[in-house]
Amino acid sequence: AQKITQTQPGMFVQEKEAVTLDCTYDTSDPSYGLFWYKQPSSGEMIFLIYQGSYDQQNATEGRYSLNFQKARKSANLVISASQLGDSAMYFCAMREDEFSGGYNKLIFGAGTRLAVHP
Amino acid sequence: GAVVSQHPSWVICKSGTSVKIECRSLDFQATTMFWYRQFPKQSLMLMATSNEGSKATYEQGVEKDKFLINHASLTLSTLTVTSAHPEDSSFYICSARGPGPYSNQPQHFGDGTRLSIL
């Protein structure tokens, strides 16, 4: 069963507007972490934001915020005031604390390609 | 912040050649590193978890004899693709969990290695 689902293969947004990238997950582990990474065309993986399963508040990092809805098992990434440099592939990932054997393995979604238009 | 260096960035070689890829944590000790493979326009697939001083843990379907992993020190893990063939051509990327409290530490990624087997 797919554990991380990103249903949007591609998204377009106008520069300076906000965009939401969807991510849903499936786990029976009560303790887990959710991550978002950005991958530009050059290939490197850039960590953006983290949300822990026990965190009460939604995570924010500059222009990035994570809309965490635990009951719905969703962890959507919101990018405010989009910039041309935000054009990239975005991956949602999950770490299951109990089932990863303590190794902090990540499971990645299929990714969403974001294109920011001027 | 935590930095992971991966070398080489590009490899082009003939079929049958063995190729070694290095992954180094530059400013922290990483007892555990991870190796991923990424095909074009696809997500990252975990190949194996590399543990310092012990055998790597391979994911289901990954050939241990084809992809040899050595984690000889706290700052270096190597992936050797043995007798590489064109179907092994891919983007290989390593990562290591950063130092500090376990719960919210992201994995820090190397810049990846593009392997092309002719």
- Concatenated DSSP letters for B40-107? TTS-EEEEEEEETTS--EEPTT--TTTEEEEEEETTEEEEEETT--GGG-EEEEEEEEPSS-STTPPE
Contact list, B114 vs chain A (CB under 8 Å): 43
pLDDT higher than threshold 90 for residue B29: no
| Residue in chain B nearest A40 by alpha carbon | B111
Nearest to A103 among B49, B91, B111 (CB): B49
User: A56 vs A97, which has greater pLDDT?
Assistant: A56
Q: What is the pLDDT of residue B48?
A: 94
B34 interface with A at CB cutoff 8 Å: yes
Q: What is the pLDDT of residue B102?
A: 60
Nearest to B32 among A50, A104, A110 (CB): A104
> In Å, how far from its chain's centre is CA B61?
16
Q: What is the pLDDT of residue A103?
A: 67
**Are A50 and B112 within 8 A, CB to CB?**
no
- Structure-block tokens of residue B44: 């990252």
> Do residues B93 and B36 make contact, with C-beta atoms less than 8 angstroms apart?
yes
Q: Which of A31, A96, A97, A104 to mutate to test the interface with B (most CBs of B within 10 A)?
A: A104
A28-75 pLDDT, tens digit per residue, is: 888 899 999 999 999 999 999 999 999 999 999 999 999 999 999 999
Distance CA A66, CA A44 (A): 21
Q: What is the pLDDT of residue B105?
A: 74
**Are A52 and B103 within 8 A, CB to CB?**
yes
Q: What is the pLDDT of residue A41?
A: 93
Q: What is the pLDDT of residue A109?
A: 96
Distance CA A66, CA A35 (A): 9
Q: What is the pLDDT of residue A101?
A: 61
Contact list, B112 vs chain A (CB under 8 Å): 43-45
User: A98 vs A111, which has greater pLDDT?
Assistant: A111
Contact list, B44 vs chain A (CB under 8 Å): 45, 91, 108
Q: What is the pLDDT of residue B97?
A: 78
**Are B106 and A50 within 8 A, CB to CB?**
yes
Reported as a pLDDT band with limits 50, 70 and 90, residue A111 is very high
**Are A33 and B104 within 8 A, CB to CB?**
yes
B55-95 pLDDT, tens digit per residue, is: 899 999 999 999 999 988 889 999 999 999 999 999 999 99
Residues 44-103 of B with CB under 8 A from A: 44-46, 49, 51, 57, 91, 93, 95, 97, 102-103
* Residue B89 vs residues A6, A46, B114: alpha-carbon distances, Å: 26, 23, 8
| Residue in chain A nearest B33 by alpha carbon | A103
